[in-house]
């Protein structure tokens, strides 16, 4: 598509200094893809100016955000200890800094009404080829949450999605979100699937979850992957329990994070089946 860079933005969310490093690698991957669209970094009060400075240096637009104005009862139900007790992660490990309440801040994308269309990307993703054409996709478009079996095609993953900013949509989301006794076990992901029940499917290669590398290696084909998503364990973790298994993916992430020469993605080895 012909991109009007002023009307489109890639958006990510940074809630701590580790995710600021993640956003830096993501932003470098976006620029490496050749996009001219804005890169907007929503950031909460948990991030220092020093951690955000490298993002400014590569041309990102920083946009401070607060936690959503939700009831005390809602916040208590969605505190880390409660969410992880009622909906534990059984397939992988989330870092200790993972805060379920922070996740809802990505809904503030709908407040960015200076843009006609946005593509949200979690800060633990890399863009491996130009994806500007997906700005032409409708709201709400997301890829399926496939990383263990094909039966999960009916569930979306909110790490990558296409949305149209609107204050009316944002207000409706807040109303839907904070209903009495409402509990969203996978936070924003559960909310978005319920709010957009007829969501449009992006190809799985637009949000290739890293566990596919070892759970369904037959699906992995580097030249086809547009967005790589490091779900569960993060590539910057020093005590990464799956670091040896995922080493080719982690090495690629560090190449973007350190500013190294980026290898030819198409020539990277596929996993052994």
Q: What are the tens digits of pLDDT across the range 167-225?
A: 999 999 999 998 887 777 778 999 999 999 999 999 999 999 999 999 999 999 999 99
**Residues 150-178: what's their mean pLDDT?**
94
**End-to-end Cα spacing for the chain:** 36
pLDDT score at 55: 98
Q: How far is CA 127 from CA 3, 18, 47, 132, 139, in A?
A: 17, 18, 23, 11, 20
pLDDT tier, 91 (very low <50, low <70, confident <90, very high otherwise): low
Q: Helices (H), strands (E): how many in the chain? A: 9, 10
Q: 76 exposed, middle or buried (CB, 10 Å; 0-12, 13-18, 19+)? A: exposed
How far apart (Å, rounded) are the C-alpha atoms in residues 179 and 193? 16
pLDDT computed for residue 45 by the predictor:
86
How many alpha carbons lie under 13 Å from residue 142 in its C-beta half-sphere?
28
Whether residue 140 has a cis bond before it, omega within 30° of 0: yes
Q: How much of the chain is in helix, strand and coil states, percent to nearest 5?
A: 40, 15, 45
| Model confidence band, residue 96 (pLDDT cutoffs 50, 70, 90) | low
> Radius of gyration of the chain from Cα atoms?
18
Q: Percent of the chain beyond pLDDT 70?
A: 90
Asked if 97 and 193 touch (Cβ cutoff 8 Å), the reply is no
Q: Kindly state the average pLDDT of the residues 149-164.
A: 92
Asked if 249 and 235 touch (Cβ cutoff 8 Å), the reply is yes
Q: What's the confidence (pLDDT) of residue 87?
A: 47
pLDDT digits (tens, 9 = 90+) for 103-129: 899 999 999 999 999 999 999 999 999
Question: Angle CA(86)–CA(108)–CA(63) in degrees, nearest 5?
Answer: 125
Domains located in the chain, CATH noted: 5-204 (3.90.550.10)
The pLDDT assigned to 273 comes to: 64
Give the range among 21-30, 45-54, 82-91, 173-182 with minimum mean pLDDT. Answer: 82-91
């Amino acid at each position: 598509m012909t991109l009007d860079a002023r009307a489109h933005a890639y958006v990510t969310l940074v809630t701590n200094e580790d995710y600021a490093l993640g956003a830096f690698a993501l932003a470098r991957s976006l620029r490496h893809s050749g996009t001219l669209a804005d890169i907007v970094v929503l950031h909460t009060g948990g991030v220092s100016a020093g951690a955000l400075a490298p993002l400014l240096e590569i041309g990102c637009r920083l946009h401070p955000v607060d936690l959503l104005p939700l009831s005390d009862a809602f916040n208590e139900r969605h505190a880390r200890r409660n969410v992880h007790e009622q909906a534990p992660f059984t397939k992988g490990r989330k870092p200790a800094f993972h805060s379920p309440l922070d996740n809802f801040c990505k809904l503030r994308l709908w407040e960015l009404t200076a843009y006609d269309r946005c593509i949200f990307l979690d800060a633990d993703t890399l863009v491996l080829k130009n994806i500007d054409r997906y700005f032409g996709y409708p709201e709400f478009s997301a890829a399926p949450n496939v990383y263990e079996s094909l039966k999960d095609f009916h569930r979306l993953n909110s790490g990558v999605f296409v949305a149209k900013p609107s204050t009316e949509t944002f207000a409706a989301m807040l109303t839907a979100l904070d209903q009495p006794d409402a509990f969203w076990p996978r936070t924003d992901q559960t909310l978005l699937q319920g709010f957009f029940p007829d969501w449009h499917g992006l190809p799985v290669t637009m949000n290739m979850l890293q566990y596919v590398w070892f759970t369904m290696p037959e699906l992995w084909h580097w030249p086809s992957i547009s967005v790589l998503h490091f779900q569960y364990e993060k590539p910057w973790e020093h005590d990464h329990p799956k670091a040896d298994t995922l080493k080719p993916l982690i090495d690629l992430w560090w190449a973007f994070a350190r500013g190294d020469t980026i290898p030819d993605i198409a020539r990277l080895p596929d996993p052994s089946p």
